[in-house]
Amino acid sequence: MSDRDSAVRLGAMVKVVDWFDDRVNFKDAILFMMEKPFSKHATDVQYCFGGISLLLLFNQVITGLLLSVYYVPTPEHAYLSIQYITFDVNFGWLIRALHIWGGDLMMLSVLIHLCIAYFKGYYRKPLELNWISGFTLFLVCLGFGFSGYLLPWTQLSYWATTIVTDMVTAIPYVGDGLLLFLRGGKTVDQATLIRFYSFHTQVFPSITLVILFFHLWMIKRRGICVPL
C-alpha cells in the first residue's frame, strides 16, 4: 500500500473529507507534499534535532496550557499554586515535571540543532534566512527558560532573577533603563512576576509561532541544506 493510497482511503471519513475538499481544495496540496521526494540525507541523525525540538515544543505547549489552568501569578499565591499543582491536582506532579524536563531537553536539542547547523555550514545560501530565524528562535527559547524560572516564586528563582536582571546594568548607557524595563520596578516584585508571566505565556509564544512558521515554511520551500 503506497502513501498515496492511505492518504486517499480514509474509510468512513471519505465523505466528510470530500465535502471539505470541494470547498477548501486541499487534497492536491497534501498529495503533492506526500509525493515530494526527501533528500537522501534526510534520514541522517544530524537532521533529527529540528524535529525533536518541534516535538518537545508541542509537549511544552500542551503541558503549559494545562499548568496555566491552576497557576496564579501573584506573589501571595504563586508558590502555593505550584504546591497545589504538585501535591493535590490529579497528575499535577507529572504535568509539571513534563514541563520542566521538556523545557530542559528542548534547550539541549535546540542547542545541538544550532551547533550542527553552525559547524556544518548549513546557514549558507539559500538558507541564510533559516539561520537568522533559527537563531532568533534560540534567543526566544532562552527567554522562555529565563522567564519560566521565576514563576514558581521560590528563593532560588527569586534570587536567580535578581542576579540575572542585574547583569543588564553592565550594558553601557541603556543598561539601567533596561533593568527597569525587565523588572517593571526597582526590585523584583509583583510587577516582575506578572511581567515574566505575560512574557512566558503570551509574548514569547506569539513570537515563536510567527518565526517558527517561517522557519518551517522555508524548509518546505527550499528543501534542507545537504552536506558539502
Partner 1 sequence: MEQNTREELPRRKFFRLIADWFLKLILFFTAGGGIVMALSFLYPPKKLMRRLTGWVPTVDKSSLQLGDAAQILFNGIPYFVLRVSNEEYRSFSAVCSHAACIVFWEKENMRFACPCHESKFSIAGEPVGGPAQDPLTRMALKIDDTGKIFIKLV
Tell me the window of 71-79, 89-97, 129-137, 166-174 that interacts with partner 1 (CB under 8 A): 89-97
Q: Could you say whether residue 102 binds partner 1 (CB under 8 A)?
A: no
Strand ranges (DSSP E) for 15-173?
none
Which amino acid, residue 32? F
Span from 85-93, 141-149, 183-191, 194-202 in contact with partner 1 (CB under 8 A): 85-93
CB of 73 to partner 1, least distance (A): 19
- CB neighbourhood size of 86 (10 A): 15
Closer to partner 1 by Cβ: residue 56 or 95? 95
d(CA 170, CA 150): 21
- Of 2, 25, 43, 90, the residue at the interface with partner 1 (CB under 8 A) is 90
Query: What gap in Å lies between CA 64 and CA 60, rounded to an integer?
Result: 6
72 binds partner 1 (CB under 8 A): no
Close Cβ partners of 122 (under 8 Å, ≥ 6 residues apart) = 116, 130, 131, 224, 225
| Burial label, 163 (beta-carbon count in 10 A; 0-12, 13-18, 19+) | exposed
Is position 55 an interface residue for partner 1 (rule: CB under 8 A)? Answer: no
Q: Does 57 bind partner 1 (CB under 8 A)?
A: no
89 binds partner 1 (CB under 8 A): yes
**What is the binding site for partner 1 (CB under 8 A)?**
62, 66, 69, 88-92, 94-95
